[in-house]
Amino acid sequence: MPKPVPPFSALRVLEAACRLRSYSAAGQELGVTHSAVSQAIRRLEIGYAQRLFWRKDNEMAPTAAAIALGGAYRDAARIVERAADDLEADVSGRPLVVSTLPSVAMLWLSPRLKRLRDALPDVALEVRTSRDLADLDSDGVDVALRVGEGRWPGLRCELLFEEYVFPVCSPEFLEVRRPTGDADIAHLPLILEDVDLWPAWFAAAGVSAPRRLRGPSFQDSSLTVEAAAAGIGVALVRRLHAQEALRAGRLVRMSATRIRDPYSCYLVWRDENPRIDAIRRFCEWVLAECDRAGLLAAA
C-alpha cells in the first residue's frame, strides 16, 4: 500500500509554527487555539517518529526535519494555488502579463506598442516593470523580456540576441568637443552605470583608461541614454537601449569599437502556462521586431 500523505492542515500548522517559532502565534494566525496547534504537531511527531520542535527559552525551535517539511508545504501550497488560479482565470480574457526592466520598457517596447496592438489585436497586454526578477511561478507574470546570463532554472529561456555596447554622445557634444579618435574619449566627461564596462571598452580600443573614472552614475539605462542625449558626456550604451535615440538623431555613435556585453537578451516563460498560445505569439512578435531593428545582426 502507498504510504499515506500527512494532511495539508497539519502541515499548514507546522509551517506557521516554524516561521513564527511560537504555537500561540501560529494559532492566532490560523484562527485556532494553542492546544490545536500542539495536538497537530504532536500527531506529526508520532507519525514520523521524531521530534519536530524543541522549547528554547520563550520560543519553539524547529528541528531540521520540521524546517524541511515546512518548506515542502510552502512549495506544494504554491503549486496548488497556481493551479487553482489557472482554473478560475478566464484564460482568453485576462491580460497577458509581461515583465521587463524599466529601461527596456521605456526605450524599446514603448515606441512599438502600436505595432504590438496591431499584431495582437485580440490580446490585452499588461506591462510590469522592475529591476527585480519577477517570479513566474507566483507573481502572475506570463512572459519576461530579460537582460542577463540566461540561467533561470525551471523556466524556458529563448535567446534573442547577444548584446554589444559602444560609446555615444549628443550631436552638440560631438560638435563642441570634436574628438579625433578613441584615445580622445578617455579625456572627455564620461557617464557611468552600476555595471561599469568602461575599462573593458578602453582595453578593446587599445587606449589607456583614466586612472580614475569620474562622472555622473545611473542605475537605470534609460537615464544614461537621456544624460548622453542631453550633452552631459559620453555613455556606453547597448543597442537595445540606444537604437531609437540614434535613429532620431538625438545620439551619435562616437566609435566603431564595441565590446560584448556580459548579459544577453532573452524571452522567458513557463511552458505549462495556460496562456502558452498568446505567449508564443508575443515571442514571435518580439523576434520579428528585433530582426526588423537589426538587433539580430552584429553591431
Asked if residue 120 is part of any domain, the answer here is: yes
pLDDT band at 215 (very low <50, low <70, confident <90, very high): confident
144-202, pLDDT tens digit by residue? 999 999 889 989 999 999 999 999 999 999 999 998 899 999 999 999 987 789 999 99
| 114 pLDDT above the threshold of 80 | yes
Between CA 41 and CA 56 the distance in angstroms is 16
Residue 37 lies in a domain: yes
Do residues 26 and 49 share a domain? yes
The per-residue pLDDT for 84 is 67
Last residue of a domain, one of 29, 59, 88: 88
Give me the pLDDT at residue 209, please.
85
Q: What is the mean pLDDT of residues 96-105?
A: 93
Q: For 88-112, what is the mean pLDDT?
A: 83
Please check whether residue 3 lies inside any domain of the structure: no
Q: Check: CB of residue 147 under 8 Å from CB of residue 104.
A: yes
Tell whether 154 and 272 lie within a shared domain.
yes
For the segment 56-74, the average pLDDT, to the nearest whole number, is 91
Give domain status of residue 2, yes or no: no
pLDDT (tens digit per residue) in 10-57: 899 999 999 999 999 999 999 999 999 999 999 999 888 899 999 998
Does one domain contain both 195 and 275? no
What confidence category does residue 81 fall into, taking pLDDT thresholds of 50, 70 and 90? confident
How confident is the model at residue 259, as a pLDDT? 94
Q: For residue 126, what are the domain limits?
A: 96-163+263-292
Residue 137's pLDDT band (cuts 50, 70, 90): confident
Q: Identify the residue with better confidence: 77 or 229.
A: 229
* Residue 297 forms part of a structural domain: no
Looking at the fold, whether 142 and 275 belong to one and the same domain comes out as: yes
Rounded-to-integer distance, Cα 238 and Cα 226, Å: 13
Q: Is residue 211 part of a domain?
A: yes
> Does one domain contain both 125 and 270?
yes
Complete DSSP assignment for 24-56: HHHHHHHT--HHHHHHHHHHHHHHHTS--EEEE
On whether the CB atoms of residues 134 and 146 are closer than 8 A, the answer is no
pLDDT at 86: 62
More confident residue, 134 or 82: 134
Q: Are residues 146 and 17 in the same domain?
A: no
Residues 133 and 178 in one domain: no
Task: Report, as an integer, the average pLDDT of 129-155.
Answer: 90
Mean pLDDT, residues 89-116: 85
1 belongs to a structural domain: no
How much is the pLDDT for 204? 95
Same domain for 82 and 101, yes or no, is no
In the prediction, which pLDDT does 227 show?
95
| CATH code, 13 | 1.10.10.10
Residue 126 resides in a domain? yes
Same domain, 234 and 125: no
Q: How many domains does the chain contain in total?
A: 3
**76 and 138 part of one domain:** no
pLDDT (0 to 100) of residue 230: 95
Q: How does pLDDT run across 225-247, given as a tens digit for each residue?
A: 999 999 999 999 999 999 899 99
Q: What are phi and psi of 83, to 5 degrees?
A: -65, -40
What global pTM score does this model have? Answer: 0.65
> Which CATH number fits the domain that encloses residue 202?
3.40.190.10
